[in-house]
Amino acid sequence: MTMLDAPYMLEVRGLTAGYGGRPIVEGINLRVGAGEIVALIGHNGAGKSTLLKALFNVAPARSGTIALAGRDVTALRARELLAAGLAYVPQDHSVFPQLTIAENLRMGAYLIDDAGLYRSRLEAVLRLFPQLAARGKQLAGTMSGGEQRVLEIARTLLMDPKIILLDEPSIGLAPQMVRIVFDAVRTLKEQGKSVLVVEQNVRKALETADRGYVLELGRIALEDRAAALIGDERVTRLYMGVRRAS
């Protein structure tokens, strides 16, 4: 069975969303398979972040349908979506800087009432990200930007989501930290998680992803396997700044 033959973990049909009555994204059809990484690329202002917010029902006006593992979740609020298995890591850092790493992780499990379940999930997360395990007492605000992003991803995993929406995970990071963050994204795939990632570092995103979508002026302009998009002359010219020799 190929990736595209697998059940869709996320399927979006005809999604339109915006602010103040003005649509930012229109007629979006998008799918993410089980255990698949999908990159969403496009220029600044194309509507990428608005699309993720709409998927997590934090964009104020929207229409269309959103299904999670075949279940219609269009009307669910953000808290209900998280409980259903859809998680969202926003572009802006969301760690609590005055809390420790351990306390930040605990905040990610605020919907879990079962102490035993929390412990087992925490142990699993710390096995995935051992760099956090020995630093539980460190204040999150003293971590580097890349380390904070890894903490955000680890914190998200405590709810055991089926799919994670990542908005610009490498923005503002040094190259070494970018590598660490994308290693974390690959770890999610290895654990069977699905990932929809918005990313300005187009080459890195497509090298990590299975498939990709190109968003232009609020609409899907191109969809293909990530390897094919890397080799697409239009993508390399417009989004990677590479011109082919004539």
190-228 residue pLDDT tens: 989 999 999 989 999 999 999 999 999 999 999 999 999
Cβ partners under 8 Å of residue 148, min gap 6: 93, 95, 140
DSSP 7: P
Residue 207: name the closest of 49, 40, 39, 52 by CA.
39
Helices marked H in 73-225: 78-84, 101-107, 115-128, 130-133, 145-157, 175-190, 202-208
Mean pLDDT, residues 50-54: 95
pLDDT band at 6 (very low <50, low <70, confident <90, very high): very low
Give me the residue label for tokens 């930007």. Answer: 145
CA atoms of 52 and 96, how far apart (whole Å): 22
Q: pLDDT digit string (tens) for 18-37?
A: 988 789 999 999 999 999 99
The residue written with tokens 């993410």 in the block is: 32
| Interval 147-199: pLDDT, tens | 998 899 999 999 999 999 999 998 888 888 888 889 889 988 998 999 999 99
Domains identified in the chain and CATH numbers: 36-61+77-239 (3.40.50.300)
Structure tokens at 53: 């917010």
Residue 10 confidence (pLDDT) above 80: yes
pTM for the full model? Answer: 0.90
Position of tokens 């395990």? 133
CB count within 10 Å of CB 104 equals 23
Q: Is the per-residue pLDDT at 7 higher than 80?
A: no
Q: How far apart are CA 183 and CA 100, in angstroms?
A: 23
pLDDT band at 4 (very low <50, low <70, confident <90, very high): very low
What is residue 243's predicted lDDT score, i.e. its pLDDT? 54
Beta bridge partners of 10: 32, 68
pLDDT digits (tens, 9 = 90+) for 95-145: 999 999 999 999 988 888 888 999 999 998 998 888 898 899 999 999 998
